[in-house]
Structure 1
Amino acid sequence: MSGPNSDYDPVEVSTLQPEEVAAARDAALAAIAGATDLEQLKQARIEHTGDRSPLALANREIGALPPQARKEAGQRIGQARGAVSQALAARQEVLEAEREERMLVEETVDVTLPADRFPTGARHPITTGSELIADIFVAMGWEVAEGPVIEAEWLNFDALNLGPDHPARTMQDTFWTAPAEDHVVLRTHTSPVQARTMLSRQPPIYVVCPGRVFRTDEYDATHSPMFHQVEGLAVDEGITMGHLKGTLDHFATSMFGEGITTRFRPSFFPFTEPSAEVDLVCFVCRGTGLNGAGPESCRTCRGEGWIEWGGCGVVNPRVLAACGIDSERYSGFAFGMGIDRTLMFRHGLEDLRALFEGDIRFTTAFGTEL
């Protein structure tokens, strides 16, 4: 067995030859000196100081040398790498200074010039959408009713036939204020406004109630812990589901155009009986379920021809009685749907969060009116 190689043979590692190291150093310095902007300098840094650069690879080969040869090779490589690092730092400083000077020249603004254009601003689509909905019902002879967003538990739940054991009372859906014994919540719907209206006046009552509501939902593309609802209430003699259907058909047509009607699907809500889910004829495919003239399904309604919109029903007699209205003489209907979701349908928005993030570019796109 032969002993270890104790002799230094320069041919063994050619990348450590003085002329090879000098060539790698000179190439790096030339590339650095030739960089005319920071992006080119960054590329030169990667090519000549990165892990795969010639000097970096040569540095790794030092370990292959006999012990007595490592010191000399290490000094040679170190000096070369140091020269490259110094050149990089110096060139970086020069190019950054040039960039700053160029920016000062190119981005100079004469603040003494008279302004000839002022941004007109824009109203938020939630605001204009709420007003549009209110105008539709005011034109029908209804009134707009408002109420506080911090509401008594009795008005938010008990007056609406939501019993003490109803799951909506739990922290799963409701924001409760402290202390708990005050029985105060952030309203989970605008129905308490309806209850306040029935408690303060006698029929006939025709009110629409737009406003903010709060639930402990996740914040994502289709959910928010704060959103907007519009609810309607009609209480009069002889009110039927037919009046409700006609009202919602007119509402849908006003919001989405001619030919848009609604359909009812049986459902359950504690404050209405009977109750129904409201679906819209898809305003994109007009109920055909197809995407244009081709065989593909409509992406908006997923080929069903209908889009879920909200809930409705005939006011439960218990709710009328709780608010001091004679349920033997009067009947009524109520409905509710999300303003945010209605605007998403109307304008093709894909992410609910765009309505709440305060980006002026989003608001400006809607102008001053819808």
Structure 2
Amino acid sequence: MSGPNTDYDPVEVTPLSAPEVEARRDEALAAIAAAADLAALKQVRIDHAGDRSPLASANREIGALPPQARKDAGQRVGQARAAVGQALAARQEVLEAEHEERMLVEETVDVTVPVDRAARGARHPITTGSEFIADVFVAMGWEVAEGPIVEAEWLNFDALNLGPDHPARTMQDTFWTEPADKHLVLRTHTSPVQARTMLTRTPPIYVVCPGRVFRTDEYDATHSPMFHQVEGLVVDEGITMAHLKGTLDHFATAMFGEGITTRFRPSYFPFTEPSAEVDLVCFVCRNVAGVVESCRTCRGEGWIEWGGCGVVNPRVFSACGVDPERYTGFAFGMGIDRTLMFRHGIEDLRSVFEGDVRFSTAFGSEI
């Protein structure tokens, strides 16, 4: 084995020669000084101070030198690398300061300039109101049922004891689809959902059916060709009008507060027998003597018309496959739009449908 090369001259190792180290240092310093931004300086750092830079390669050559030559070579390379590192740090500081100043100028926002800010969206009160009503009945153990808006004529009329000659089947009240031989209509009430439920399920049935309905009404402050209803259906053994009255009293209290009850006035509906109109005790004057006479809400009546109800007609049970000898039931229907007008003091129904976000946000449902 040969001994160490004691005659090795480090000057002959080109990367470690003093002129070469000084040239690489000066080259790095010039590149650092020329870097115009932080991205350019990053590339300079890689080229002149990274692991593959000339000075880093020279530093690795020191290990090949004899012991007596390593000190001088190490000092030369170390001083060059230190000078490059200091120059990089100084240039980094300068460029960062320039970058921040440029950002302050370029990204300055004048908060005093007026702008057209688009209004934020909001959940519509009809949506939140329908969900609230559904929650009232779900809390009693009922279920929410839904059905299609375009409905079969049989389900919308015949199944509900609305015969072929009933006035509601004419164009005066109903939107019919084309072609006519398809016998499809835009549903005029949510009662077809009740019929669908009875056709597909076995009693006992306790369902509430909120949804959109359509009739050929004029569009004014109290009417709309598209509006919203909520209907309820109960089919079970031993159901009476007393159960109906208790249910509607609870519903009225949930919607309008404690002390609000209902009263029934005899009426007629083809799908219920007996049938009744449902009135609410006025939620403003509470039908209190001395106050009711001047109440503008109920106009001195003490009661406000709310909807219709009754015991399900046995013919409807028969049409929908329910045994009328075994089961009885009740049904009711109210306008959701009308209920919300009462609840929130809305005077014009058109405000509900015109899409002004300011109307929706007034109900505290902004998102």
TM range (shorter): 0.5 to 0.7
The alpha carbon displacement at 1:112 in A equals 12
Amino acid at match of 2:342: F
Contact map agreement 2:280 2:306 (CA 8 A) in 1:
yes
Amino acid at match of 1:324: G
The alpha carbon displacement at 1:290 in A equals 5.2
Match of 2:227 in 1: 227
SS in 1 for 2:219: coil
Match of 1:244 in 2: 244
- Looking at structure 2, the residues matched to 312 and 260 of structure 1 have their Cα atoms a distance apart, in angstroms, of 18
- Looking at structure 2, the residues matched to 127 and 317 of structure 1 have their Cα atoms a distance apart, in angstroms, of 34
Contact map agreement 1:289 1:298 (CA 8 A) in 2:
no
Match of 1:128 in 2: 128
Contact map agreement 1:290 1:303 (CA 8 A) in 2:
no
| Structure having the higher Rg | 2
Match of 1:177 in 2: 177
Match of 2:328 in 1: 331
Match of 1:157 in 2: 157
The alpha carbon displacement at 1:126 in A equals 0.1
- Looking at structure 1, the residues matched to 276 and 245 of structure 2 have their Cα atoms a distance apart, in angstroms, of 11
The alpha carbon displacement at 1:119 in A equals 6.5
- Looking at structure 2, the residues matched to 288 and 257 of structure 1 have their Cα atoms a distance apart, in angstroms, of 16
Cα offsets for 1:113-132 (capped at 9, x unmatched): 9x9x9976421100000000
**Matched ranges for 1:170-209 at <5 A:** 170-209=170-209
Amino acid at match of 2:129: G
Amino acid at match of 2:271: F
Contact map agreement 1:289 1:304 (CA 8 A) in 2:
no
Match of 1:105 in 2: none
Match of 2:26 in 1: none
**Matched ranges for 1:59-138 at <5 A:** 110=110, 121-138=121-138
- Looking at structure 2, the residues matched to 159 and 123 of structure 1 have their Cα atoms a distance apart, in angstroms, of 35
Is the aligned partner of 1:364 residue 2:361? yes
The alpha carbon displacement at 1:367 in A equals 1.5
Match of 1:277 in 2: 277
Amino acid at match of 1:301: C
Match of 2:317 among 317, 320, 343: 320
Contact map agreement 1:208 1:233 (CA 8 A) in 2:
yes
Contact map agreement 1:291 1:299 (CA 8 A) in 2:
no
Cα offsets for 1:285-310 (capped at 9, x unmatched): 00126548xxx520000000000000
Cα offsets for 1:168-212 (capped at 9, x unmatched): 000000000011111100000000000000000010000000000
- Looking at structure 2, the residues matched to 290 and 271 of structure 1 have their Cα atoms a distance apart, in angstroms, of 40
Distance 1:224 1:234, change over 3 A: same
Amino acid at match of 1:305: G
The alpha carbon displacement at 1:111 in A equals 8.1
Match of 2:148 in 1: 148
Q: How many pairs were matched up?
A: 256
Amino acid at match of 1:176: W
Normalising by structure 2, we get a TM-score of: 0.67
Distance 1:357 1:118, change over 3 A: closer
- Looking at structure 1, the residues matched to 336 and 147 of structure 2 have their Cα atoms a distance apart, in angstroms, of 17
Any runs of at least 4 consecutive aligned residues in structure 1 with deviations exceeding 2 A, and if so which?
109-113, 117-122, 288-292
SS in 2 for 1:340: helix
Amino acid at match of 1:144: V
Is the aligned partner of 1:299 residue 2:292? no
SS in 1 for 2:294: coil
Match of 2:286 in 1: 286
Contact map agreement 1:289 1:302 (CA 8 A) in 2:
no
Distance 1:138 1:112, change over 3 A: same
Match of 2:348 in 1: 351
Distance 1:289 1:218, change over 3 A: farther
Distance 1:160 1:290, change over 3 A: farther
- Looking at structure 2, the residues matched to 285 and 185 of structure 1 have their Cα atoms a distance apart, in angstroms, of 41
Normalising by structure 1, we get a TM-score of: 0.67
SS in 1 for 2:133: helix
Contact map agreement 2:119 2:357 (CA 8 A) in 1:
no
Contact map agreement 1:125 1:366 (CA 8 A) in 2:
yes
Give the CA RMSD over aligned residues: 2.0
SS in 2 for 1:308: strand
